[in-house]
Structure 1
Amino acid sequence: ACCGQAASAITYDQLQNMSYNEVRGTGLAAVCPLIEEGSTNLADLKPGTYKLKNLCLEPTKIQVQEEGLTKGSGPQWSNTKLLTRQTTNLSDIEADLKVGPNGAVVLKESDSYSLNLAPITVQLPGGERVPFLFTIKARPHHNTFGYYSSSSHMPLELEASGDLSSFGGQIRVPSYRGSTFLDPKGRGGSTGYDTAHALHTRADDEALESENLKKFDSGIGQVVFSVAKVDPGTGEVAGVFESVQPSDTDMGAKVPKQVKVQGLWYGQLG
C-alpha cells in the first residue's frame, strides 16, 4: 500500500472472492493484484493486439520536488507522508495494447467516460501539505462548459509508446478544485464573490489578482510503464510505473510543485 501502509498481497481471483465486509478496513481496496505464477521473460508476451482490462495502478512512493537545502544545490526530491485515505490507487481502466514483433509497444486508453482520478494529499518533512490529483488521463481541457486550454491538441485518452521495458506518454492533470468551489473568502471560478468580501477597495490590487481571479486550468505530466512479469496462461501482466505531474495550484493562486509517483501496475490481456 502507498507510502509504507501495510496491506497483504493478493491475487485477482482471491480479491474477487472476498465480500465487501472482508475487504473493508483491511487496506486491500488500495492494493493492485499480484501475479502468483508467471514469467519474467518478456518474450512470453507474444506480438499482437490485445484488450487490456482491469488495469490498476498502485502508488507505493510519493515524492515532491523542493529547492535544495544548501546554497547552490539544485532541486531535490523529498519523501512525503500520506495524509489522505488509503484508496489512492486507480483501477478498472481499459486500454488497447499493441505489441510489435520487435518488442515495440503502443498503449491507448479506451474507457473515455471513466474519471481515473484519485485526490491525494501528502506532507513534506517541514510540515507543508501538498494536494494533487493522481491520474493518467489525457483528456483536453475543452468541454461543453467552455473550459479551454491551448494544449487541446492532445489525445482524448492516454497514448503511451516505447518498448516493454519502458513505454510512456503525456498526461493531463485537471484542477484539484471545481469551478463552483468557494475559498474561505467566498471567491470561486463560476460563483461567489469577485474579490475578498472585506477588501472591496483593493479589488484591482495586483498582489491579490491571483487570489481573486480563480482559474480552472490543467497541467501536463508524464507517465512511464515497464513490464516486469507475464502469465501467458491467465493473460495477466504486471510491472512498475513512474509519473511526474504538477500539484494543485489552488485555482491559480499558487505555483504548482512537481510530484513524482512511483508504484506497481497490473492488468489482464484479452
Structure 2
Amino acid sequence: MRIRSLLAVVLALCLTFFTTACSGGNDANRGESNVTYDDIRNTGKANDCPTIGDAARGSIPLTAGQKYELRGICMHPVQVYAKEEPKNIRQQAEFVEGKILTRYTSSLDEVYGDLTVTESGLQFQEKGGIDFQPITVLVPGGEEFPFSFSSKSLSATADGSAITTSTDFEGTYRTPSYRTSNFIDPKGRALTTGVQYAQGLIALGGDEKDLEKDNNKRYIDGVGTMSMSITKVDPETGEFAGVFTAIQPSDSDMGGREVVDIKVVGELYGRLEEA
C-alpha cells in the first residue's frame, strides 16, 4: 500500500511538472493572446495596433478582376506636429512636434474598404470602421490644437499589381468637424441650439464684423492627404504592417478660429481578404 501511495505521489508530481512546462511554452508562443480585460484596462495597450514579425518580407500577388478588401486596418499615431507660422518673413513655416493630450483613444481601428486592381495599379476606397478620433495636441509655448484624426472616404492609389514591402498608397480623405452642430460655446452660441450671439455683447450688435466668425457658427469639413508605406507582408495570413503619414487641417471651432496644418505619423496594420 505504501509503495502504491508513493507511486501515486510521484506520478502526480510528474504530471504537474509536464503540464506546467507545456502551458509555459504555449504562453510563450501565444505572446499576449491570453490577456484578459483587466490586464489591459487603463494601460493604453488597447490603443496599440497589432504587429507582425520582422521576418515577414513576402508579397501577395493580386489578380485583375478579382474583388479584394483591406480589413482590420489600424492606425496608431506616434508623433503629431503642428505647423507654426514664421516669426519673420525670412523664415519658412515648419512643423513643430507636440504632445498628444488625448488619453489612450487616438488610434483608428477596424477600418475597411475595397481594393481594386486596375491597369495603372491599385485603388483603395475606404468604406467604414472606427475611422475618426478627436485628438488635442499641445505644442511648445502652451497652445493647444484640437483636430479630428480621420480616414473617412480615403481614396488612395499605389503602383504595381501586388501587396509588397515597397507598396506605397497615397490619397486624400475627409476630416469631419471637431465640434458637432449642438455644441454650445462658453457664451451660449451654437449652430442649431443656443443663441445667435452673446447676450453680454448686445451693445455691439449681433452683426458686428469683429464678432461675425464667432457668432455665425458653421459646420466645416476639411480635406487631408495620407500616405501608407507597407514594410512587412505575411503572404500566409494576408497581414501587412508599416507606417503612415497624414497631413490635415486642425479644427476651426465652427469657423471661429484660424486652422493650421497638423501632421500625424504612426504605425499601420491591416489584412488583405478576398471579397
Match of 1:132? Answer: 147
Match of 1:237? Answer: 240
Residues 150-181 of structure 1 show CA distances to partners (whole Å, capped at 9, x for unaligned) of xxxxxxxx221122532121111111100011
Structural mapping, 1:46-125, within 5 Å: 46-48=61-63, 49-69=67-87, 71-99=89-117, 104-111=121-128, 114-125=129-140
Residues 200-255 of structure 1 show CA distances to partners (whole Å, capped at 9, x for unaligned) of 23211100000000001111111111111101111111111111000011100011
Structural mapping, 1:1-270, within 5 Å: 17-36=34-53, 38-41=55-58, 44-48=59-63, 49-69=67-87, 71-99=89-117, 104-111=121-128, 114-138=129-153, 158-163=154-159, 164-202=166-204, 203-270=206-273
AA of the residue aligned to 2:203: T
- Following superposition, the deviation at residue 84 of structure 1 comes to 1.4
AA of the residue aligned to 1:52: L
What root-mean-square deviation, in Å, do the aligned CA atoms of Structure 1 and Structure 2 show? 1.9
- Following superposition, the deviation at residue 16 of structure 1 comes to 5.3
AA of the residue aligned to 1:62: V
Point out the more displaced range, 51-60 or 90-99.
Answer: 90-99
Tell me the TM-score normalized by structure 2.
0.79
What is the rounded CA distance, in whole Å, between the counterparts of 2:268 and 2:251 in structure 1? 24
Shift in alpha-carbon separation, 1:206–1:69, aligned structure 2, 3 A:
closer
Do the aligned partners of 1:34 and 1:266 also contact (CA within 8 Å) in 2?
Answer: yes
- Following superposition, the deviation at residue 99 of structure 1 comes to 4.8
What is the rounded CA distance, in whole Å, between the counterparts of 1:210 and 1:194 in structure 2? 11
Shift in alpha-carbon separation, 1:241–1:195, aligned structure 2, 3 A:
same
What is the rounded CA distance, in whole Å, between the counterparts of 1:38 and 1:101 in structure 2? 31
What is the rounded CA distance, in whole Å, between the counterparts of 1:110 and 1:70 in structure 2? 44
What is the aligned-residue identity percentage? Answer: 38
Do the aligned partners of 1:47 and 1:101 also contact (CA within 8 Å) in 2?
Answer: no
AA of the residue aligned to 1:217: I
Give the number of equivalent residue pairs: 234
What is the rounded CA distance, in whole Å, between the counterparts of 1:192 and 1:120 in structure 2? 25
Tell me the TM-score normalized by structure 1.
0.81
Shift in alpha-carbon separation, 1:17–1:127, aligned structure 2, 3 A:
same
**Structure with max Cα Rg:** 2
- Following superposition, the deviation at residue 98 of structure 1 comes to 3.4
Do the aligned partners of 1:47 and 1:98 also contact (CA within 8 Å) in 2?
Answer: no
Structure 1 unmatched runs, 5+:
1-12, 139-157
What is the rounded CA distance, in whole Å, between the counterparts of 2:213 and 2:207 in structure 1? 11
SS of alignment partner, residue 21 of structure 1: helix
Residues 174-201 of structure 1 show CA distances to partners (whole Å, capped at 9, x for unaligned) of 1110001100000000111111111123
Do the aligned partners of 1:37 and 1:231 also contact (CA within 8 Å) in 2?
Answer: no
